[in-house]
Amino acid sequence: MTVGSEQRKVGPSELQGVRKNVVSESSSRPGSSSHIAPVIHEWTYDAMCHDLLEMDGNKYVHVVSSKTGDVYERKEVLLEDHDPVWLELRHSHIADASERLHDKMTNFVSRNKVAQMHGRDGGEMSTRDLQKMVQALPQYKEQMDKVSLHVDLAGKINGIIRKMGLRDVGQLEQDIVFGDAGTKDIIKTSEQTA
């Protein structure tokens, strides 16, 4: 969330206070958008990751299944410039980022030989198929890990948005900025998402 020229992290537990601030600011100073600017949220993938997920700076702890698949392990990942998926999507609106991630995963699976071979229904594989699969495996795993990390992040963010009714809050913020929201709308949304 931006306050003046400063940036400040707002987590889910603080949103209740933000909703109350919207009501009090807009009811006491109608028509003055400069007083409500601090509560307008950014909906980019980057902002949603930092606002809604438990992150320490740019570090996120991702829970993945182990190599054997029977237990889960915690893996720390940095969402920084070395991650091409992060670079591509971080400034995108969360809805656009989610759609693009779905397309990336679909395209990756359809183009990747290992994924195609992995998806076969128990059919026998030739020695040549196995050799190609083994050669492509390290690159496949690395690419799949990067894409699946972001698919998981976007899924968690979208789940939190649905659970907390943040679409309604975002719409209310837009209505306030453009002068389309009255006091009744503000109170109604505040009560619904409380």
Higher pLDDT, 51 or 187: 51
Indicate if the alpha-carbon torsion angle 96, 98, 104, 107 is positive or negative: negative
Q: Three-class SS of residue 83?
A: coil
Give the range of the structural domain holding residue 45, as residue numbers without chain letter. Answer: 2-192
Residue-averaged pLDDT of the chain: 74
CB contact at 8 A, 105 and 151: yes
According to the model, what pLDDT value does residue 160 have? 95
Report the 10 Å Cβ neighbour count for 19: 21
Work out the angle at residue 41's Cα, subtended by the Cα atoms of residues 39 and 45, and round it to the nearest 5 degrees. 165
Most confident range, picked from 10-19, 27-36, 64-73: 64-73
The tens digit of pLDDT for each residue in 19-59 reads 333 433 334 444 444 555 566 778 999 999 999 999 999 99
Tell me the pLDDT tens digit for each residue of 85-113: 999 999 999 999 999 999 988 888 777 76
Whole-number percent of the chain with pLDDT over 70? 57
Using CA atoms, how far residue 172 sits from 14, 69, 87, in Å, is 17, 44, 30
Mean local confidence (pLDDT), 173-187: 71
Number of domains, the chain: 1
CATH of the domain at 66: 3.90.830.10
- State both tokens at 27: 């009811």
| pLDDT for res 41 | 79
Please, are residues 78 and 61 in contact by the beta-carbon 8 Å criterion? no
C-alpha to C-alpha distance for 164 and 12, rounded to whole angstroms: 8
Model confidence at 78, in pLDDT bands (50, 70, 90)?
very high
Q: Measuring CA to CA, which residue among 94, 134, 128 is closest to residue 114?
A: 134
Q: How confident is the model at residue 189 (pLDDT cuts 50, 70, 90)?
A: low
Confidence of residue 186 (pLDDT cuts 50, 70, 90): low
